[in-house]
Structure 1
Amino acid sequence: MTALTKFQRLEAQGSWRAAPDAPLREVIVSLGDATLVLSDPGTDRPLSHWSLPAVVQLNPGALPALYAPGAEGTDETVAIDDPLMIDAISRVQGAVASHRAHSGRLRGVLLALAILAVLGLLAFWLPGALIAHAARIAPPAQARDIGMAILADLERGAGKVCTRESGQAVLDHLAPHLLDPDAIIRVVPGPLGGARRLPGDLYVIGSDLLRAAPGPEAAAAHLVSARLATAEPDLKADAVRHAGLAASLRLMTLGHLPREAMAGYGNALLMQPAPRPADADLLAALGERGIPAEPYARSIDPTGQTVLPLIEGDPFRTDPPARPLLTDEQWLALQQICAG
């Protein structure tokens, strides 16, 4: 126990009392590595072993020094008047106290480091977890509000949504056939590089897909492509992540995002190319809806070189669909949605 090697196996005489009412008995007190051994001076038979770390002096500063094997509940005592033995025990007690203090400080430092690590982990993980939870629990009505907020921000760069009623009626007719029963489609004057799907089953296309096209097939295929390439949960999560932690907490507690939460999101969306699904998935979906794939492919690459699989895999490459997607009147009304 002790590093005081010069005191190893130090011996001195002492007066030992085994119990408060027992007679005093002369003993040999031996200081070992970790124990204080009390032995019979005639036979060297050990009478008692005391743990050095537990030994306490009951009368500090007095002679003979009176020791006990523990601070509480101890009946044994030994009186020692040998200065060298008393000094050795005192130094051992000082070393033990220093060790305990050091251990206490080390435990305190380790505890503080553990607390800081937990706080750091929470600071790193908690905001992301709260944002993901806010996006996950947002009902369809809130998702639609988020989509509308993104559309409002997108209008700053692409122009105000076109609102001609005859053209919008055609989009309302197409939406459940091309997309989903609750889907809505909006057109903006500026080009978007394809169709964009926003949270809340909201789809946006640029009027460039309508003005220069010979028919509605390219725009329709772009809308189907946007539906296949993006999932509603991912759209909500990305939008709420852009809004940030404070806005996410407001969404969870008040049910809506701050008006400025989607600022800049629309512009960031336009800086990225429109996502595309796998060619096989898109061709299958177009075939189910009676939409040729070649107009879509040519709108991406007029030469056809980079979209050859779509052209060659067009389900209507040799035979046109049984019925047109829109009547001539409907197509004309859709083309003029941004007029006036």
Structure 2
Amino acid sequence: MTALTEFERLEAQGSWRESPDARLREVIVSVGDATLILVDPKSEVPLSHWSLPAVTRLNPGRMPALYTPRPEEPDEQLEIDDQLMIDAIERVHRAIESRRAHPGRLRGGLTLLAALLMIAGLVFWLPDALVRHAARVAPPAQARAIGEAVLAELNRSTGATCTRASGQAVLDWLTPQLLQKEAAIRVVPTLNSARRLPGDLFVFGADLVDAAPGPEAAAGHLLAAAEAQGDDEVTLAALEYAGPQAALRLLTLGTLPQGALQGYGEKLLTEHPPRPGDEALLARFTQKQLPSTPYARSLDPTGESVLGLIEADPMRGTTPARPLLTPPQWTALQQICAG
């Protein structure tokens, strides 16, 4: 019995009653490998063998200790007042109990593990799911408000949005022809590309019109921005930057916390604007009957890295039925940042 390895032999005196009607007999109690052996002290004849796992104490905490091998029918009983033997029997019981399977503990452990996994899943999954849901269900007015907030952040680096009325009127007239009816286009002083912002808001730099021979290059950048990203993508990107708490406020109160997008404009300007594939972009140029070469040359004046857009220009060798803008409109657009 491994629980009692420090004892070579463990014996004690006890009083044994074979049945309720039998008289008490003095016995020698010894511990075997898995049994409790009761021996007649005079003849040394074994009188009874009890299975140690089955031995049950009938009077815990009282002396002498009273044991039985069958707790459901405690006819046979043994009294022991040797504390060392009592402790030994208790140690054996504890050792047996520790090795016994505990389905309840296992079930409880598995339940706890499942709960921890669920909590971990919520910690790592819920914030992302919350942000994605907020981006998906944001109505147009809410998305446009986010776009205006992003534009305000961009203005910190690009300069204030140009607001000359005559130039903005040209953009408002041009917007439904290039983009969708609900879109809006803004111009900032320094931005050598176009960006799509949440709420179908587009912004490009006056650099694209100041020294250009015509509006086609700027128009090409706007088409590329529209093709490269959908409104849901740019809205999601902005909310991911703002974080799950800001997304929760947007869902519950309809607005982002003040400062939630602080620094986002600077972050956008450090990234190259996404560029769509040539095939998809050329399809847009074809649909709008616009040349792709001015856009391509604005990206790479040598034309080497944009050869596909130049060679497959849908308007190559043809003259547009009408110009994108009239000369007065073009002049007004070029002067949108003046004054």
- Normalising by the smaller structure, the TM-score range is 0.7 to 0.9
1:49–1:105 distance in 2 versus 1, CA, 3 Å? closer
1:264-275 equivalent positions in 2, closer than 5 A: 264-275=263-274
Give the deviation of 1:196 after TM superposition. Answer: 0.5
Q: What is the CA–CA distance in structure 1 between the aligned matches of 2:311 and 2:295, rounded to whole Å?
A: 13
1:164–1:91 distance in 2 versus 1, CA, 3 Å? closer
Which residue of the partner structure matches residue 212 of structure 2? 213
Q: What is the CA–CA distance in structure 2 between the aligned matches of 1:213 and 1:59, rounded to whole Å?
A: 100
1:32–1:47 distance in 2 versus 1, CA, 3 Å? closer
1:1-340 equivalent positions in 2, closer than 5 A: 2-5=2-5, 6=7, 15-16=16-17, 31=31, 33-34=33-34, 49=51, 51-52=53-54, 55-58=56-59, 60=61, 62-63=63-64, 65-68=65-68, 75-81=74-80, 83=82, 86=86, 88-93=88-93, 95=95, 122-190=122-190, 192-340=191-339
Q: What is the CA–CA distance in structure 2 between the aligned matches of 1:14 and 1:238, rounded to whole Å?
A: 84
243-252 or 279-288: which moved more? 243-252
Q: What are the Cα deviations for residues 10-37 of structure 1, in whole angstroms up to 9, with x where unaligned?
A: 898863566xx66569799775545658
Give the deviation of 1:74 after TM superposition. Answer: 5.9
Q: What is the CA–CA distance in structure 1 between the aligned matches of 2:227 and 2:152, rounded to whole Å?
A: 24
Q: What is the CA–CA distance in structure 2 between the aligned matches of 1:74 and 1:164, rounded to whole Å?
A: 103
Letter in 2 for 1:146: I
1:105–1:288 distance in 2 versus 1, CA, 3 Å? closer
Count of residues paired in the alignment: 330
User: What is the Cα-based RMSD across aligned positions, in Å?
Assistant: 4.1
Give the deviation of 1:110 after TM superposition. Answer: 9.8
2:66 counterpart SS class: strand
2:16 counterpart SS class: strand
1:147–1:8 distance in 2 versus 1, CA, 3 Å? farther
294-303 or 75-84: which moved more? 75-84
Give the deviation of 1:276 after TM superposition. Answer: 0.6
Q: Which ranges of structure 2 fall in alignment gaps of 5 or more residues?
A: none
TM-score by length of 2: 0.80
Q: What is the CA–CA distance in structure 1 between the aligned matches of 2:34 and 2:2, rounded to whole Å?
A: 7
Q: What is the CA–CA distance in structure 1 between the aligned matches of 2:172 and 2:21, rounded to whole Å?
A: 106
1:76–1:180 distance in 2 versus 1, CA, 3 Å? farther
Give the deviation of 1:314 after TM superposition. Answer: 0.8
On the 8 A contact 1:11/1:31 being kept in 2, the answer is no
2:3 counterpart SS class: coil
Q: What is the CA–CA distance in structure 2 between the aligned matches of 1:87 and 1:256, rounded to whole Å?
A: 71
1:3 counterpart SS class: helix
Q: What are the Cα deviations for residues 30-83 of structure 1, in whole angstroms up to 9, with x where unaligned?
A: 7554565889x9x9898875625x7335264634x311458x866455214495
1:16–1:126 distance in 2 versus 1, CA, 3 Å? farther
1:215–1:48 distance in 2 versus 1, CA, 3 Å? same
Give the deviation of 1:128 after TM superposition. Answer: 3.0
1:79 counterpart SS class: strand
On the 8 A contact 2:37/2:46 being kept in 1, the answer is no
Q: What is the CA–CA distance in structure 1 between the aligned matches of 2:161 and 2:285, rounded to whole Å?
A: 27
Give the deviation of 1:93 after TM superposition. Answer: 3.8
1:150–1:75 distance in 2 versus 1, CA, 3 Å? same
Q: What is the CA–CA distance in structure 2 between the aligned matches of 1:258 and 1:62, rounded to whole Å?
A: 73
- Identity over aligned pairs, percent: 52
Letter in 2 for 1:317: R
